[in-house]
Amino acid sequence: MIKNNTMKNSIFILLLSSLLLSLSSCDVVERRVFKSYICRYYGADSIMLRVTEAENIYIGWYSSSNQYSWKSTGNDKAIYDSLCRANNDVAYNRKVGYIKMEEGFDNSFDEGNVVGQCYEKIINIDIISESDFDAQHPIGTSLSDIVHFCSTSVSQFIESGYTFKYDWKSATPELFNKEPELFYFQTNRFAYQCTPVDKLLSEMKTNDFYLLNPGLGFLIFDKQPTLSKTHLLTVSVTLDDGRVLSGAVTKTFN
């Protein structure tokens, strides 16, 4: 019994020391009124692709060095303010807690604030294979009519004057259940402010790509290939400034 109590005390002291050490690396929590819901914007130089355990394709941003926040100064602050105005995000006016970090941007963590948002505007996402997929999709043909894009967006929340709430419990898209990683999109502390995006890539319009989840989204196939089972897939994201960010990933269909 003495040994058990000693061990429990040692574990408690270790955990307490770790907590104090982590707290000592940053300043105290502060609160301020944020005029805008989105407190930080960042650009993107390229995209990342990977096959998930559920055999779907995750597509995300590799952020660039261009970052603008409420803490920016000079021209960078002017860019941040212009992005807020462009997204009609200028009347949030809620007090939000944040941790003042020693380096980098302050990390807003309260339920009322999104940490960051990519400011790149997507015009189109396309996907092709370097092998014949089926009779309707020979090598190099767009697969956008058989691939769904799944994500979330805060556009409706901002457009509603920050009052909209989405009920994920009663209205989760069926396709979201095919990718376990999408569960986080439905359960994180910002989820009720987000609406689902679930469309074939061929049906996605520019407005559907507006203010997407910072993690971007997932590509889920409607069909299995009838020819080769292993495909080198190229995904291309076209932006409104004319840039095309592309990446490739190998997926084996079972």
pLDDT at 2: 45
Is position 140 within any domain?
yes
Write out the residue range of the structural domain in which residue 234 sits.
30-252
pLDDT value of position 28: 55
Domain membership of residue 9 (yes or no) is: no
How far apart (Å, rounded) are the C-alpha atoms in residues 146 and 152?
20
Low-confidence stretches of the chain (pLDDT beneath 70): 1-29, 99-115
Structural domain includes residue 1: no
DSSP codes joined into one string, 129-191: ESS--BTTB-TT-B-TTSEEEEEEE-HHHHHTTS-----TTT---GGGGG-TTHHHHHHSTTG
Spatial separation of the C-alpha atoms in residues 101 and 4, rounded to whole Å: 38
pLDDT of residue 187: 81
13 lies in a domain? no
In a domain, 23, yes or no: no
Q: What would the pLDDT profile of 105-154 be if each residue is shown by its tens digit?
A: 455 544 445 568 899 999 999 999 999 999 999 999 999 999 999 999 99
In a domain, 156, yes or no: yes
Q: Quick count: other Cβ atoms within 10 Å of Cβ 117?
A: 20
Q: Domain for residue 65, yes or no?
A: yes
- Model pLDDT, residue 185: 81
- The answer to whether position 189 is within a domain reads yes
Distance separating alpha carbons of residues 99 and 71, to the nearest angstrom: 13
84 neighbors 16 (Cβ within 8 angstroms): no
Q: Phi and psi for 219 in degrees, rounded to 5?
A: -110, 125
**Cα radius of gyration (the chain):** 22
pLDDT score of 115 = 60
pLDDT at 100: 64
Total domains present in the chain = 1
DSSP characters for 101-123?
-SSSS-EE-STT-BS-EE-PPEE
